[in-house]
Amino acid sequence: MREFLDSIGYDSWVLLALLVIPALAAMGIWVHGAMLGDNDARDRASGTPRQIALWAFIIEFVVSLGLWWSYDPSTAAMQATLDLTWIPSWGVRFALGIDGISLMMVLLTTFLMPLAVLGSWTSIRIKRHSYYALLLLLTTGMLGVFVARDLFLFYVMWEMMLVPMYFIIGIWGGERRIYATMKFFIYTMVGSLLMLVAIVYLGIKAGGGTGPNFAYDAVQRMAGSGGMTSLFGAMVPASFLMFFAFALAFAIKVPMFPFHTWLPDAHVEAPTAGSVILAGIMLKMGTYGFLRFALPFFPDAAMHPAIRTTFLVLGTVGVLYGALVAMVQPDFKKLVAYSSVSHLGFVMLGIFALTTQSIQGALMIMINHGISTGALFLLIGMIYERRHTRELAAYGGIARVVPLFAALLTFVSLSSIGLPGTNGFVGEFLVLLGSFQTAPYLATFATMGVIFAAAYLLWAIQRIIFNRLDRAENEHIPDLNARELALMLPLVAVILWLGIYPAPVLRRMEASAQQLVTQVSGVAPAANVASAGNP
Amino acid sequence: MLLQHEVSAAAHPLAGTVVEWLWLLPLLPLLGFVINGLLSLVPATVLGPGDPDMAHGADGAHGEAGHGVAVHAHETADEHGAHGDDHHPVVRHRFAWLASIVGPAVLAIAFGLAVAMFFAMRGAGGGEMHAPFVQRYFSWMPAGTFHLDAAFQLDQLSMLMVLVITGVGTLIHLFSIGYMQDDPGYPRFFAYLNLFVAFMLVLVLGANYPVLFVGWEGVGLCSYLLIGFWFSEKANADAGKKAFIVNRIGDFGLLIAMFLLFANLGTLDFVAVNENVTRLAFGGPLITTICLFMFLGCTGKSAQIPLYIWLPDAMAGPTPVSALIHAATMVTAGVYLIARSSVLFSMAPVAGLTVTVIGALTAIFAATIGLKQWDIKKVLAYSTVSQLGYMFMGVGSGAYVAGVFHLATHAFFKALLFLGSGSVIFAMHAAYHHTGSHEDAQDMRNMGGLAPYMRVTWILMWIATLAIAGVPFFAGFFSKDEILGSLFLRAHDSTLADARWLGIPGSAVLYGAYALGLAAALLTAIYMTRMMIYTFHGPNRTGEKERDHLHEAPWIMTGPLVVLGILSAVGGWLNLPAITSFLGPVGALDRWLEPVVGESALRVTNGVAPEATHSTELALVGGAVAIALLGIIIAAVRLKPARLVPKAQSPEEHGIERVLANKYYVDEAYDRVVVEPTVGLSRGVLWKGIDQGIIDNVLVNGSARLARGFSSLGSWVQSGQIGTYAWVLVIGVLAVLGAFTIR
Amino acid sequence: MLAEAIFFSAVLFTIGVIGVLTRRNAIIIFMCVELMLNAVNLSFVAFARAYGVAGQVFVFFVMTVAAAEAAVGLAIIIAMFRHKQTVNLQNINILKG
């Protein structure tokens, strides 16, 4: 495989291709829509946009899959790099590259997108051209965030994915979609504006008087060599302010307690694919930002005892709080939204606990959450298409009507609960195991999250598929069709694969995670009591 | 360290033997799960009014008044679902025949394989073989210094467990063919049952704690699915969910124990942990904490105080499930875990005492509840909880072999009791089914005098009853005696006796536990005899018409009963005490398990194997036998089955009887103290208060309102009157000019 | 000479300002604005005599802009009249926030 990839020069063009393919496909859909003219009826009847989107995403996935083999897990250096001049007068370059952290996020994105299209196949009925074009543009933005090696490019991509999502929720969403999408947009925007200020400051400082330089490496070199001065009359070290600017943007995106309230609204109102992408990919940008920028750039701020403890506590609070609030939700989507808060709390705990295990575990949860929660949202979407309600109380006993749906819902819920043998366990176990070494008490509290996770999800699925079938309108729900089954099976396969044999994934992250721990903590990783006794 | 063991594994005496097929053991039932699972997804029954599966939901609607009644009512409904009803034709699954072959066959093959492995192990030295046979398959979770392999290990303890699981499992699978024959969910049932066995084998074969944990949670999952097998009744689904969540509380403890082990020893492999654990201070707070957290896991899985509450509810599942999961195998996983971690527990006397005390309290507590239950399965459920308490008394006090011995014999006689009760319920149900009655088929007040109708079941259940009561030369007599005897012997000259537990001297604790154990033995004899008398003796209360339809179960169900009956009768041969040396080889199990737990057991008793004098031993045995016989006699003399009336006409209980019948109201108390406050807090304070009230309303939307307030101020200034704008402009210009001029 | 021109320009500008502030009719206000522009033009021309030709260049610019503004402004006023049947600015407040 590697030889083949090398022979076609895969590494040199793959990342650019990943950004360009969806953009081109979006353009194709737009051209097709323009040819149809401004005609709603013809737009509604047209199956072309979803076909174009599906095939574009499948090609995208196949192209990205080569990264799995071409990636060299032995090094933490950026790979498949590409560096083009973009805006020379501002020192902005079009620089791309991936390491073990972004590799998994890229693959997660390209894996989920075709499924998101399949999940929207029949549920999107109006403005189909715009919808699929926006999905494709969104993908370019999301992938751009994960592969950008230039802060300015990163920021452009970061904002670029905001706009399509705004429209996806605002146009194809539920009843309160305008409120939800405004909240989502403004909330996220507020965070990212401060980050823009910080990026500009860092770029100028990194340029060292010869014009700004936004390259990731340059900024990190500058930050590492104490290139930042104190601001506001030496009261606050600049690195602390910069950390807060970044951390706020990312914490909102994560979303970390208490910045999470946009999420339930956005999730509930978003169409299925919107929820899948929001939960599956976009939330990961927050935690990715912490791993890529906030921690390596400003280790002194991030590892300051007070700040670190704050984040660890907020992560733990998020775990328990999200789970408890999820338990009492009457709306299934909202329940899953709060469960996201809980899962992402584990990730935050893992990141700030800063051991190799906890970082790798955090990355695993980021992937797992994308898969499992994505699958849950897809399933909710399927049942919503049939019954047009997400109220748990409106269901009950449908396992005997829709056995396939019930089996899949149970399976996916179990993976979300973190049952060993499914993906969820690997991530949570590693995060907690790793966190326990640096923050044992908080990790103990966070471990209680596994109890509540079982409580809220099992209670929810009981109210949907078990109990007595006592509503006439539930008696004739059709079971999943071939398309829906086909889109769930890859998810099921990945859930099992990551649960039973996650080692290939973990190995590809290991070098990057270890490097991060080294950079941030300033010492060699693995200062375990453990290694002392092991020959 | 890992490498060393791989080297030693290659040179292991079992290398190259049939044991190399170890991985096949769990894979076989897993294969059965896949096949049966796919079959169950095939729509093979007609949906609609003719489907009894649909109908039994409606059947359950009758008579749901009051808590206790509701429980019985839904179980009646379940049985209707299981066996169809007069009003509806019986609809069997189209592929039931295939499931009946695949389900038990995979187990039988696995059992055959296990037997072959057993002989290979005996050939390789048996009790002389000191290192476990470890097979590493692939790296599961590599993360920095943390290396975790997907690995199985086979040693004498695992071997015993594998034999029990596959052996008893096969019998119960065979029984299920008859018991579940008319259930539309037939393949699904076998799928879950196969999956359960697969996970149970992973549990006992895992070579490190996380792999064990896979099985540990996996069996919990299957338990959840099987308890809620007839999920159309809310009570069944509730019971399944309760089992899972309560078990999760225990799993939390096991997880913390694993984290502590890794943080302090850097490994989670059994072999490596056992080698390194001596680095920790003996009896120190660390090792005690680890053991206590681990024991929290055991209390969940093995239904001990305070987490026992799920097991009685778990009887909502089909009876074979109760026999396999909730009596013979899964619930003993906690005992297995402690025996497996015997090195850890032998290092922590305080933890050992805690285990003993909890075990003793559970044994007596559950036995008292068992005295007043009317549901035949509930009696057995509380009996199981009580017997598990005995096992914990054994492993807690460092008598690991005694605990495991009781685990094995209990698997025989309790499986027999459950399957026997299943046979009774099957007969009762068939009788009620014929007459279309909706009486409770599990309530002993509706039974009575069944002995003439089902001779085989009657005899076999008496064997099991004598075994559990501890009547000499039946299996339970030897194992229970060994536990009580070792408690007595360890009350002096052991690390436990020298330790203090909550300020109480360890020896006093052990003597107390011994006394409680004896008392529980008395109660066991009483409630078991009571169950037998009410079920099989005295006048029949089933009903005039129904009586004619009572008959023995088919051979596919009685066959496994007979096998279990033989095992219950002679199972004590596994580990004969010295005073019965005339029966056969003494202490076979002691010698078999010596490489696994011998060292730990010696550590508890300060390096000297405890030896009772002949007279002491005779006195102990004599006392226990006297108590067992006394219990049986009390029950036989005091109970008046003739005075019982069928359930429907029974008066309410009063006073202490009522408290016992309602299980000391523990479930209600947990609901009030734990469940309701948690849900209330989550809904009222966290969600409505903090989330919607403070964060969303005040902070998020508050900032939006603030912005809107400012903009409405600006909007008020924008009157739209151009004249006003012009005036403002001019005044502004004048002001600027003025400012510049005056300065 | 310069002083008189500036004085005259100032008087003219003030008349324009007062007209803008006090009148209601859009056409008249518009004419007053033109008056102000021309007052400025006058001072430009006057200064151009003293300081060089740059001022005259500006006057041409202002006149061009004023012509364009007149075209657009009058068009708006006519459109508004068609819409509201009045050019009284008190009755027109569609800019209200």
List, as one string, the DSSP characters of A213-239.
--BHHHHHHHHHTT---EETTTTEEHH
Distance CA A485, CA B195 (A): 23
Among the partner residues A327, A451, A528, nearest to B249 by beta-carbon distance = A451
Identify whether A333 is part of a domain.
yes
Distance CA B338, CA B340 (A): 5
Q: B-chain residues within 8 Å CB-CB of C17?
A: 730
Q: Is the pLDDT of residue B48 over 90?
A: no
Using DSSP bridges, classify how beta strands B149-154 and B500-501 pair: parallel, antiparallel or unpaired.
Answer: unpaired
Domain identity same for B618 and B681: no
* Cβ partners under 8 Å of residue B650, min gap 6: B445, B644
Q: What is the mean pLDDT of residues B298-317?
A: 92
pLDDT at B79: 37
Domain count, chain B: 2
Which amino acid is it at A442?
L
A-B contacts at Cβ under 8 angstroms: 193
Q: B-chain residues within 8 Å CB-CB of A506?
A: 141-143
For A391, the 3-state DSSP assignment is: strand
Among the partner residues B718, B721, B730, nearest to C90 by beta-carbon distance = B721
Q: What is the mean pLDDT of residues A274-301?
A: 92
Long-range contacts of C76-80 (CB under 8 A, 24+ apart): C77/C26, C77/C27, C77/C30, C80/C26
Please judge whether A528 and B263 are an interchain contact, meaning their C-beta atoms are less than 8 angstroms apart. yes
pLDDT tens per residue across span A109-155: 999 999 999 999 988 888 888 999 999 999 999 999 999 999 999 99
More confident residue, A100 or A531: A100
Q: B-chain residues within 8 Å CB-CB of C93?
A: 719-721
Identify whether B520 is part of a domain.
yes
Strands (E) in A471-523, as ranges, are none
C-chain residue closest to B733, CA distance: C17
Q: In Å, how far is C49's CA from the nearest CA of chain B? A: 26
Q: Is the pLDDT of residue C95 over 80?
A: no
Please judge whether B722 and C29 are an interchain contact, meaning their C-beta atoms are less than 8 angstroms apart. yes
Query: Which of B699, B697, B696, B678 shows the shortest CA–CA distance to A321?
Result: B678
SS (H, E, C) B473-527: CCHHHHHHHHHHHHHHHHCCCCHHHHCEECCEEHHHHHHHHHHHHHHHHHHHHHH
Domain identity same for B409 and B478: yes
At A343, list the tokens.
Answer: 């899962």
At B326, list the tokens.
Answer: 């909730």
Distance CA B460, CA A20 (A): 76
A29's enclosing H/E stretch is helix A10-36
Query: Which of B620, B357, B594 shows the shortest CA–CA distance to B477?
Result: B620
Q: In Å, how far is C62's CA from the nearest CA of chain B? A: 21
> A131-147: string of b/e by CB count within 10 Å (b at 16+)?
bbbbbbbbbbbbbbbbb
What are the CA-CA distances from residue B670 to residues B50, B248, B378, B658, B659 (Å)?
41, 16, 19, 19, 16
Distance CA B214, CA B199 (A): 7
* Confidence at B659, pLDDT banded by 50, 70, 90: confident
Cα atoms found within 13 Å of the Cα of residue A290, Cβ hemisphere only:
32
For A373, the 3-state DSSP assignment is: helix
pLDDT tens per residue across span B60-112: 333 333 333 333 333 333 333 333 333 344 567 778 888 889 999 999 999 99
Identify whether A307 is part of a domain.
yes
Among the partner residues B718, B726, B730, nearest to C95 by beta-carbon distance = B718
Q: Is the pLDDT of residue B550 over 70?
A: yes
Distance CA B225, CA B193 (A): 10
Instruction: Please check whether residue B138 touches A, CB under 8 A.
Output: yes
Q: C-chain residues within 8 Å CB-CB of B726?
A: 20-21
Domain identity same for B596 and B695: no
pLDDT tens per residue across span B373-430: 899 999 999 999 999 999 999 999 999 999 999 999 999 999 999 999 999 999 998 8
Q: Given CA atoms A11, A17, A18, A19 in this order, what sign does their dihedral have?
A: positive
Query: B710, B722, B725, B728: best mutation site toward chain C, by most C Cβ within 10 Å?
Result: B722
Identify whether B129 is part of a domain.
no
* Confidence at A535, pLDDT banded by 50, 70, 90: very low
User: Which residues constitute the domain of residue B561?
Assistant: 399-653
Identify whether A504 is part of a domain.
yes
Q: Is the pLDDT of residue B58 over 60?
A: no
Instruction: Please check whether residue B719 touches C, CB under 8 A.
Output: yes
Domain identity same for B580 and B678: no
pLDDT at A530: 38
pLDDT at B640: 84
Instruction: Please check whether residue B237 touches A, CB under 8 A.
Output: yes
DSSP string for residues in A319-348: HHHHHHHHHT-SBHHHHHHHHHHHHHHHHH
At A327, list the tokens.
Answer: 């338990």
Identify whether B344 is part of a domain.
no
Identify whether B470 is part of a domain.
yes
* Confidence at C97, pLDDT banded by 50, 70, 90: low
C-chain residue closest to B711, CA distance: C97
Identify whether B474 is part of a domain.
yes
DSSP string for residues in B96-114: HHHHHHHHHHHHHHHHHHH
Please judge whether C29 and B720 are an interchain contact, meaning their C-beta atoms are less than 8 angstroms apart. no
Distance CA A473, CA A480 (A): 17
Please judge whether A501 and B138 are an interchain contact, meaning their C-beta atoms are less than 8 angstroms apart. yes
Domain identity same for B666 and B610: no
Across the strands, what pairs with B633? none
pLDDT at B3: 42
Distance CA B360, CA B514 (A): 8
Q: A-chain residues within 8 Å CB-CB of B74?
A: none
Q: In Å, how far is B720's CA from the nearest CA of chain C? A: 4
Among the partner residues C21, C93, C97, nearest to B726 by beta-carbon distance = C21
Domain identity same for B576 and B607: yes
Q: Is the pLDDT of residue A191 over 70?
A: yes
Q: What is the mean pLDDT of residues B530-539?
A: 91
Identify whether B437 is part of a domain.
yes
* Confidence at B578, pLDDT banded by 50, 70, 90: confident
At A459, list the tokens.
Answer: 């209670």
Q: Which chains touch C (3 or more CB pairs under 8 A)?
A: B
Q: In Å, how far is B166's CA from the nearest CA of chain A? A: 22
pLDDT at A204: 87
* Confidence at B662, pLDDT banded by 50, 70, 90: confident
Mean pLDDT of chain A: 89
pLDDT at B568: 92
pLDDT at B43: 66
* Confidence at A233, pLDDT banded by 50, 70, 90: low
Instruction: Please check whether residue B655 touches A, CB under 8 A.
Output: no
Q: A-chain residues within 8 Å CB-CB of B81?
A: none
Among the partner residues C20, C93, C97, nearest to B726 by beta-carbon distance = C20
Domain identity same for B629 and B495: yes
Q: C-chain residues within 8 Å CB-CB of B721?
A: 89-90, 93
Q: C-chain residues within 8 Å CB-CB of B727?
A: 21
Identify whether C95 is part of a domain.
no
Query: Which of A135, A528, A301 shows the shortest CA–CA distance to B266?
Result: A528
Q: B-chain residues within 8 Å CB-CB of A261?
A: 691, 695-696, 700
Domain identity same for B591 and B471: yes
Query: Which of A403, A386, A355 shows the shortest CA–CA distance to A473?
Result: A386
pLDDT tens per residue across span C50-61: 888 888 999 999
C-chain residue closest to B728, CA distance: C21
Q: pTM here?
A: 0.88
DSSP string for residues in B588-611: HHHHHHIIIIIHHHHHHTTTS---
* Confidence at B565, pLDDT banded by 50, 70, 90: very high
Identify whether C55 is part of a domain.
yes
- Residues 11-40 on B with a CB inside 8 Å of A are 40
How many residues are there in chain A? 535
* Confidence at B124, pLDDT banded by 50, 70, 90: confident
* Confidence at A317, pLDDT banded by 50, 70, 90: very high
Q: What is the mean pLDDT of residues C1-19?
A: 91
Please judge whether B244 and A458 are an interchain contact, meaning their C-beta atoms are less than 8 angstroms apart. yes
Output the furthest CA–CA distance in chain B (Å, rounded). 126
A-chain residue closest to B144, CA distance: A356
Q: Is the pLDDT of residue A247 over 90?
A: yes
pLDDT tens per residue across span A374-423: 999 999 999 999 988 889 989 988 888 898 999 999 999 999 999 998 99
Domain identity same for B670 and B647: no
Q: Is the pLDDT of residue C94 over 80?
A: no
Please judge whether A502 and B143 are an interchain contact, meaning their C-beta atoms are less than 8 angstroms apart. no
Identify whether C96 is part of a domain.
no
- Tell me the CATH number at C19: 1.10.287.3510
Strands (E) in A200-299, as ranges, are 230-231, 236-237
Mean pLDDT of chain B: 86
pLDDT at A235: 67
Instruction: Please check whether residue B711 touches A, CB under 8 A.
Output: no
Please judge whether B217 and A420 are an interchain contact, meaning their C-beta atoms are less than 8 angstroms apart. yes
* Confidence at B435, pLDDT banded by 50, 70, 90: confident
* Confidence at A428, pLDDT banded by 50, 70, 90: very high
Domain count, chain C: 1
More confident residue, A342 or A211: A342
- Residues 35-54 on C with a CB inside 8 Å of B are none
Across the strands, what pairs with C88? C25
Percent of chain A clearing pLDDT 70 (strictly above): 96
pLDDT at B91: 63
pLDDT at A230: 64
Identify whether B697 is part of a domain.
yes
Across the strands, what pairs with B658? none
pLDDT at C62: 93
Among the partner residues A187, A404, A458, nearest to B41 by beta-carbon distance = A404
Among the partner residues A400, A526, A532, nearest to B144 by beta-carbon distance = A526
Q: What is the mean pLDDT of residues A245-268?
A: 91
In whole angstroms, what separates CA B419 from the centre of its chain? 17
Q: Which chains touch B (3 or more CB pairs under 8 A)?
A: A, C
pLDDT at B457: 92
User: Which residues constitute the domain of residue A483?
Assistant: 303-525
Query: C13, C14, C20: best mutation site toward chain B, by most B Cβ within 10 Å?
Result: C20
Among the partner residues A324, A468, A531, nearest to B145 by beta-carbon distance = A531
Q: B-chain residues within 8 Å CB-CB of C13?
A: none
Domain count, chain A: 1
Out of A171-175, A519-523, B133-137, B702-706, pick the least confident: A519-523
Query: Which of A475, A452, A237 shows the shortest CA–CA distance to A343?
Result: A452
What are the CA-CA distances from residue B86 to residues A106, B46, B81, B452, B543 (Å)?
60, 17, 11, 26, 18
Please judge whether A356 and B145 are an interchain contact, meaning their C-beta atoms are less than 8 angstroms apart. yes
* ipTM entry: 0.91
Q: Is the pLDDT of residue B255 over 90?
A: yes
Q: In Å, how far is B94's CA from the nearest CA of chain A? A: 16
The CA-based dihedral angle spanning residues C34, C38, C44, C48, taken in that order and rounded to the nearest 10 degrees: 140
Q: C-chain residues within 8 Å CB-CB of B730?
A: 17, 21
Instruction: Please check whether residue B722 touches C, CB under 8 A.
Output: yes
pLDDT at C36: 93
Angle value at C-alpha A304, between A298 and A309, nearest 5 degrees? 120
pLDDT at B65: 30
Q: In Å, how far is C39's CA from the nearest CA of chain B? A: 16
Q: C-chain residues within 8 Å CB-CB of B718?
A: 95-97
Distance CA B199, CA B202 (A): 5
A364's enclosing H/E stretch is helix A356-387
Q: C-chain residues within 8 Å CB-CB of B720?
A: 92-97
